[in-house]
Structure 1
Amino acid sequence: MDRVLGAIEYVGNKLPEPFTLFLILFLITAVISTVLASMGAEVQIPGEEETVKIKGFFTGEGLTWFTTNLGPNYLGFPPLVTVLTIMLGVGVAERSGMLSALIRKLFGSANRAVLPYAVGIIGVTASVMADAAFVVIPPLAAMVFKAAGRHPVAGLLGGFAAVGAGYSTALVPTSLDALFAGITNAVMQTLPNLDATEVNPVSNYYFNIVASLVLGVIAGFITDKVLEPRMHKLDVPQEIADGDNVDTDADGNPISAQLTKEENRGLVFTGIAMVVVTAIILFAVLLPDSPWRNEEGGFLPKSPLLQSIVFIVFTYFLTMGVVYGAVVGSIKGVKDVVDMMTSAMGDLLGFLVLAFILGNFIALFNWSGIGTFSAVKGAEFLESTGITGFGAILAFIILASLLNLLVISGSAMWTLMAAVFVPMFALIGFEPSFTQAAFRVGDSATQIITPLNPYIIVILTLLRRYEPKAGLGTLMSRLVVFVIPFWTAWAILLFIWYTFDLPLGPGSSIFLG
């Protein structure tokens, strides 16, 4: 195992960081487009009369396109519109202390028998906190396990596995849903005349709800029946080796599963506020002549209500954060809310820089015709091999799982894969939202066993408080038991949706047409 993991680490370390990787891909696409354009390459989209001619980047037309559209390519990158807006609300909910208090409340209310399953479901859904979930959930899980008389290391590793292996899904819409949807819609511009449904942050919501519950239960079962017994069998210590306080995270910051009176009061008022917001939204959209209905008087497949999903998610998170913060005192005025939003934007600086090259890469892919060319030729190849059904989707999932060992950034990997596979699978009959759901399966389980995951070091630091001599191989050998069950469960769920043509979310189906 150590040799395999060492090989993965070696290869992964040879890869450039995401910005450089996409800069290289941009230049490669520029060169290929120029060569194909000089050869007069063109492609005909099935069902279309006109052919698409490849346009070269290193031509007068290409260079002027680039110099006049550098900024618009960046600012027009669709995920910026959705992710930045939602993160303003999530930032207030997180920094006011509401999200942390809610998670601690849910942990503390679970009894000993169901505790692993609570850790599993909460851990999977904790992706609403983005990367902060990797730091918050594992030490809290260890603490509540110990308080319940169970092995804290099982809670620690089980919590990390739930967060990491189920990171691509949640019981509630998250900024990741908005990010994926924006990228998916951007690459579908390759085939603008295709009758595909526009993807939004809730296009995979039904699938996500079921997946979150199933994966949460599986995480709990493995933690309860496999991981914890193994901890006892290996005689893994249940006390901190150096006598340090268990109620701290990897950075030594204090944590507690018990809520104060004010925190409980804050959650109560937050719950009341949510009921009020929900009632207002329902009243507004359920009126017979509601302006949020479509021209036929309904909500599907497209309506102002579905186009308002970003607003609704933002409103919920902002309301929860402001109400909770006002009750517990973490928010005393508008300035505090603005400071929390500013801090949340600070956390996205890395994404904002990466989005510059991602947006320009996708724009070049679409403008040059390389995206259309790749999609049509790829679809033709799949048809020639006879792999056009779920087998093609399964091969795509396997590829995503392998790439996930080397490319940890979900936005970077989805940009890379979506540029080719979303339009390609659309040409053989799959809705873009279904391809996006398939990517979620691949972009999940394997990230907890790659040394390139930066939070592997965090969890290893926490583990060494119990086992000072624990190494990367020690950690991987205990986390690998989650990978195959998670991956298999994901794939089976997707196959069920595929077989019975179930809606993935509101107005979102499996097949085109």
Structure 2
Amino acid sequence: MSSAQTLTRRTVLIDRVLGGIERVGNKLPDPFMLFLLLFAITAVASTAMAWANVTVQLPGTDEITVIKGFFTAEGLTWFTQNIGVNYVGFPPLATVLPILLAVGVAEKSGLLAALIRKAFGSAPRWSLPYAVAFVGVVGSIMSDAAFVVIPPLAALVFKAAGRHPVAGLLGGFAAVGAGYSTSLFVTSLDALFAGITTSVTQNLPNAGSVVTPVSNYFFNVVSALVLIALAGFMIDKILEPRLGRQGIAREEIIDNDDVSGPAAMNTRLTDTENRGLFWAFVAGVVVAGVILVGVLLPESPWRNEDGGFLPRSPLLSSIVFIVFATFVIPGLVYGKITGTIATGSDVPRVMGHAIKDMSGFLVLAFILGQFVALFNFSGIGSWLAVAGAGGLESIGLTGFSAVVAFVLLASLLNLFIISGSAMWTLMAAVFVPLFVLLGYEPAFIQGAFRVGDSATQVLTPLNPYMIVLLTMLRKYEPQAGLGTIIARMLPFAVTFWLAWVAVLSVFFFFDLPMGPGNGIMIPQ
């Protein structure tokens, strides 16, 4: 049998497996009904556990958490009093809505389309998957905003180059999600993880080197480069060809009232558009300059109490505003010069179009908010994490196999607890002391956690940004469901996980430093 025939048979087999996963996944209820069912299951389970007086003690503390039941006097009064707060307080809304309004201005004014045509018009088509992969993997510097901003922009980039926009959309999401815990740059997540690790180790004897925001930097850089190359390859060689074989539409089936017009993506920039881009760029530089001046002033209110920016500061909490200003102000300038935004009344109109495009997510956010709130109120999330960690601890594994088992547990828990900081808070309290006793540096265990914290979050329906992605995908595939996304994300998740563990093993077996001053084993 020739190599071409073998490759064809392998491609057919992969398509059949992924197609089966998609069909099974799409048999899941509609997302609204799915989370309504999960809410009901959590309500019943929490009540049974409350009646059984189930408790959980967070390792490293004397605090006993009592599981609270939904169908109890406390649970029912909590729900009836907080149903609105649960919805409005759903965390992704605070990120998604402002960015949608700003991106709506930049998109509907025609700025994004023109910018993409200008930037990628002469770029080789082969390089686009790797450009999207690069932006996605390092996009964690924007925190959760990356999930909202990067996928639709990647779709526009692919469409402008005559490639499949859905490949850009899904590839951008995969790169952001599966590579969320790593970057070429030091991010707020590095500082957050380091702070949690330090809080666990400060009372441990012989706890190794101090953990800082750059303690995983060498590991992060190598991981990011590997994941960028893999993500670009997967988008180019796996995802996009399969979309073509499936006959997925390249144009949006649902009309989104694009102000700039669909033909804009296929025409050269006019003098007016070039002038609009120039002044939009000037506006962007002014916005960046104003932010930098406000931040770099010695007495800047955006500094923390120590006068810095890490691990926490008003600046790091202002990412959504920075993204908002970066999109909306240049978008308004571009629209005014090109005439796509002629009057002040056009601004709320284009913003309204952006919100209308995401109305499905706003409805889903109601039940998502109720489910997440109940999960946190009941304490079941903490119980799951502690029980899983205790189970791994009881196995008594040593060596690198114990590290891989730890990564695997983090990957499984990541399907239920999306917040990396919340999960690391729980897991670090158990596993950092455990691995310190085995002689491992805390920074190495923190790096191992990063692998499990990212790779599987593109597979779980509990990731609220997957619902945002589904809303975007249905513009091309109205019948798409969660199974569609899971089937297309699975190759990324598996490949990223294996490659990332391989990188971790290289650092382990060659005793390479994870970052400045942080190795693998505690010096004896």
Residue 20 of structure 1, aligned match among 30, 33, 37: 33
Deviation at 1:327, TM superposition (A): 1.9
Q: Does 1:363 align with 2:373?
A: yes
Percent of matched pairs sharing the same residue:
44
Identify if the C-alpha distance between structure 1 residues 18 and 425 changes in structure 2 by more than 3 Å, giving closer, same or farther: farther
Deviation at 1:316, TM superposition (A): 0.8
Q: Secondary structure at 2:161's aligned position in 1?
A: helix
Task: Tell me what 1:310 maps to.
Answer: 320
Long gaps (5+) in structure 1: 144-154, 172-180, 186-190, 197-203, 238-247, 404-412, 462-475, 504-513
| Residue-pair matches, total | 420
Identify if the C-alpha distance between structure 1 residues 209 and 129 changes in structure 2 by more than 3 Å, giving closer, same or farther: farther
Separation in structure 2 between the aligned mates of residue 494 and residue 262 of structure 1, nearest angstrom: 51
CA deviation string 1:235-294 (max 9, x = no partner)? x99xxxxxxxxxx84669533163222222222222211211111111111111122212
Task: Tell me what 2:407 maps to.
Answer: 393
Q: Secondary structure at 2:160's aligned position in 1?
A: helix
CA deviation string 1:275-317 (max 9, x = no partner)? 1111111111111112221221111112222222221111111
Residue 84 of structure 1, aligned match among 92, 97, 110: 97
Residue 331 of structure 1, aligned match among 332, 341, 359: 341
Deviation at 1:371, TM superposition (A): 2.0
Task: Tell me what 1:340 maps to.
Answer: 350
Long gaps (5+) in structure 2: 1-12, 137-146, 181-188, 202-215, 256-261, 433-444, 462-468, 479-486, 517-524
Deviation at 1:429, TM superposition (A): 5.5
Task: Tell me what 1:425 maps to.
Answer: 427
Quick check: 1:45–1:51 contact (8 Å CA) kept in 2? yes
Task: Tell me what 1:409 maps to.
Answer: none
C-alpha RMSD over aligned residues? 4.9
Residue 275 of structure 2, aligned match among 265, 273, 277: 265
Identify if the C-alpha distance between structure 1 residues 437 and 327 changes in structure 2 by more than 3 Å, giving closer, same or farther: farther
Deviation at 1:137, TM superposition (A): 3.8
Q: Does 1:37 align with 2:50?
A: yes
Deviation at 1:353, TM superposition (A): 1.6
Separation in structure 1 between the aligned mates of residue 470 and residue 376 of structure 2, nearest angstrom: 31
Deviation at 1:121, TM superposition (A): 0.5
Q: Does 1:62 align with 2:75?
A: yes
Identify if the C-alpha distance between structure 1 residues 424 and 266 changes in structure 2 by more than 3 Å, giving closer, same or farther: same
Identify if the C-alpha distance between structure 1 residues 13 and 157 changes in structure 2 by more than 3 Å, giving closer, same or farther: closer
Quick check: 2:200–2:428 contact (8 Å CA) kept in 1? no
Quick check: 1:135–1:458 contact (8 Å CA) kept in 2? no
Residue 117 of structure 2, aligned match among 97, 104, 107: 104
Deviation at 1:433, TM superposition (A): 11
Residue 48 of structure 1, aligned match among 61, 66, 71: 61
Amino acid at match of 1:168: G
Task: Tell me what 1:142 maps to.
Answer: 162
Q: What's the TM-score once normalised by structure 1's chain length?
A: 0.66
Q: Does 1:376 align with 2:386?
A: yes
Separation in structure 1 between the aligned mates of residue 178 and residue 513 of structure 2, nearest angstrom: 21
Pick which of 1-10 and 43-52 moved more: 1-10
Deviation at 1:166, TM superposition (A): 2.4
Quick check: 2:59–2:430 contact (8 Å CA) kept in 1? no
Identify if the C-alpha distance between structure 1 residues 61 and 28 changes in structure 2 by more than 3 Å, giving closer, same or farther: same
Q: Secondary structure at 1:334's aligned position in 2?
A: coil
Quick check: 1:137–1:160 contact (8 Å CA) kept in 2? no
Task: Tell me what 2:456 maps to.
Answer: 442
Separation in structure 1 between the aligned mates of residue 268 and residue 475 of structure 2, nearest angstrom: 24
Task: Tell me what 1:166 maps to.
Answer: 175
Task: Tell me what 1:291 maps to.
Answer: 301
Pick which of 389-398 and 328-337 moved more: 389-398
Deviation at 1:6, TM superposition (A): 3.7
Amino acid at match of 2:117: R
Quick check: 1:134–1:164 contact (8 Å CA) kept in 2? no
CA deviation string 1:155-175 (max 9, x = no partner)? 78975774454253899xxxx
Quick check: 1:170–1:209 contact (8 Å CA) kept in 2? no
CA deviation string 1:128-172 (max 9, x = no partner)? 6566457534443337xxxxxxxxxxx78975774454253899x
Separation in structure 2 between the aligned mates of residue 318 and residue 9 of structure 1, nearest angstrom: 37
Amino acid at match of 1:75: V
Deviation at 1:52, TM superposition (A): 1.5
CA deviation string 1:345-380 (max 9, x = no partner)? 222222222221122112212222222222221221
Amino acid at match of 2:175: G
Identify if the C-alpha distance between structure 1 residues 166 and 369 changes in structure 2 by more than 3 Å, giving closer, same or farther: closer
Separation in structure 1 between the aligned mates of residue 35 and residue 450 of structure 2, nearest angstrom: 20
Identify if the C-alpha distance between structure 1 residues 487 and 259 changes in structure 2 by more than 3 Å, giving closer, same or farther: farther
Task: Tell me what 1:301 maps to.
Answer: 311
Amino acid at match of 1:425: M
Q: Secondary structure at 1:106's aligned position in 2?
A: helix
Identify if the C-alpha distance between structure 1 residues 92 and 390 changes in structure 2 by more than 3 Å, giving closer, same or farther: farther
Q: Secondary structure at 1:52's aligned position in 2?
A: strand
Q: What's the TM-score once normalised by structure 2's chain length?
A: 0.65
Amino acid at match of 2:161: A
Deviation at 1:5, TM superposition (A): 3.1
Separation in structure 1 between the aligned mates of residue 431 and residue 166 of structure 2, nearest angstrom: 40
